Homo-oligomer: A and B are copies of this chain.
Amino acid sequence: MNYVGKNEKWGIGIDMGGTKIEAAIVGDQGKLRDQLRIPTNSQDGAERIIERTLRAVKELMGRNSDVEVAAAGIGIAGQIDNEGEYVIHAPNLKWSRVNLRQQLVNVLAMPVFICNDVRAAAWGEWSFGAGRGKKDVACIFVGTGVGGAFICDGKMLHGFNNSAGEIGHMVVKVNGELCTCGNSGCLEAIAGGWAIRKKAQQLALQDQSAAQTMIDLAGGIASINAKTVFLAANQGDKAAFKIVGDVVAALIAGVISVINVFGPDRVILGGGIIEGMPTLIQRIETGVKKHALQAAISNVQILQAELHGNAGTMGAAMFALNNVQGHNKER
């Protein structure tokens, strides 16, 4: 991060997730000046969540009143309409067709821009993290689900329906594991946290002795999760090692596909699964460098995301500042 601060423009960045909402004041040179966090309490419904979010933002602005804020950006775990007005659908928040942007404009009295949370995090990594200064960047976040965003020739890729980047639902294994989306063989259905957990628990139910290490570590089959699998694999447990091997193979396939098809110069991997098993990124890189097309992989760097928990707020702020500063309208 660059702490220049001179003539810095400031934005509010909001990361609105299913469990917590974070807001931050971020400078366009990458300074994270202040931040706060509140629980989402998704059962409260859109109206009250928005109300609490606005209160939090005002508190943040109040305690940083020496700073002039130019715009606010929100990254939200859901699908945003093409005009960036509505949240069409946000399953984790239990929202459907919420006119988010105008409600925030009315109260904050500044330009507000909304986008998908993964795209916001990618804006963060692109602006201030592992992708800074690059024109062709692929960001892949592997957590409970798998999401992505792509910067092509210096522009964020939106796609016709503003839905681009769903790399979790890239098919890497035709007729493979059933995915929550209804398709099978999706990257997420192998490498996503939910899929790792599901596969490990299924294995434990089928053959308790083969999964004993995982069961012991978790304290019961129902408590086995991706973290358990990584711990057990590190202890040499064969079943866990096999699951991790499948995760690595699927991620190698996904990253190779991205490189061969998109031609990025930098691939950024982040999210809980990547951070939870430090050897993962090295194994992915080795496989990708071996098997991607020579013409495509030349001089490509595969790096871990740098901003961790701050990517969402920092990216949402930068996304907003980029829009308000009269650059190309970005979503």
Task: Report the separation of the CA atoms of residues A152 and B148 in the bound assembly, to the nearest whole angstrom.
Answer: 16
Q: Is B170 a contact partner of A257 (Cβ separation < 8 A)?
A: yes
Cβ contacts under 8 Å, A125 to chain B: none
Interfacial residues of chain A within 141-159, with CB under 8 A of chain B in the complex: 148, 150, 152-153, 155, 157-159
Pick from A36-44, A160-168, A224-232 the stretch touching chain B.
Answer: A160-168
Question: What does DSSP make chain A's interface, helix, strand, loop or mixed?
Answer: loop
Known pairs A256-B171, A262-B159, A263-B158; A166 contacts B296 (CB<8 A): yes
* Smallest CB gap from A169: residue in B: B260
A side interface size, CB within 8 A: 55
Q: Is A161 a contact partner of B256 (Cβ separation < 8 A)?
A: no
Q: Mark A31-56, 1 if CB is under 8 A from B, else 0.
A: 00000000000000000000000000
Q: Which of A190, A264, A292 has the largest number of chain B CB atoms within 10 A? A: A292
Cβ contacts under 8 Å, A152 to chain B: 152, 157, 159
Closest chain B CB from A96 CB (angstroms): 13
Q: Mark A272-313, 1 if CB is under 8 A from B, else 0.
A: 000000000000000000011101101110000000000000
Task: Report the separation of the CA atoms of residues A257 and B148 in the bound assembly, to the nearest whole angstrom.
Answer: 13
Known pairs A153-B155, A291-B182, A291-B183; A257 contacts B164 (CB<8 A): no
Pick from A59-67, A172-180, A207-215 the stretch touching chain B.
Answer: A172-180
* Smallest CB gap from A79: residue in B: B295
A271 at the interface (CB under 8 A from B): no
Closest chain B CB from A115 CB (angstroms): 14
Q: Is B170 a contact partner of A173 (Cβ separation < 8 A)?
A: no
Copies of this polypeptide in the complex = 2
Cβ contacts under 8 Å, A260 to chain B: 163, 166-167, 169-170
* Smallest CB gap from A266: residue in B: B160
Q: Which listed residue, B174, B190, B300, touches A250 by the CB 8 Å rule?
A: B174
Q: Which of A88, A135, A158, A183 has the largest number of chain B CB atoms within 10 A? A: A183
Closest chain B CB from A108 CB (angstroms): 28
Give me the interface of A with B, judged by CB distance under 8 Å.
79, 88-89, 135-136, 148, 150, 152-153, 155, 157-167, 169-176, 181-183, 185, 190, 249-250, 253-254, 256-258, 260-265, 291-293, 295-296, 298-300
CB-defined A-B contacts under 8 Å, sample of 7: A135-B160, A163-B263, A167-B260, A169-B256, A171-B254, A174-B190, A175-B249
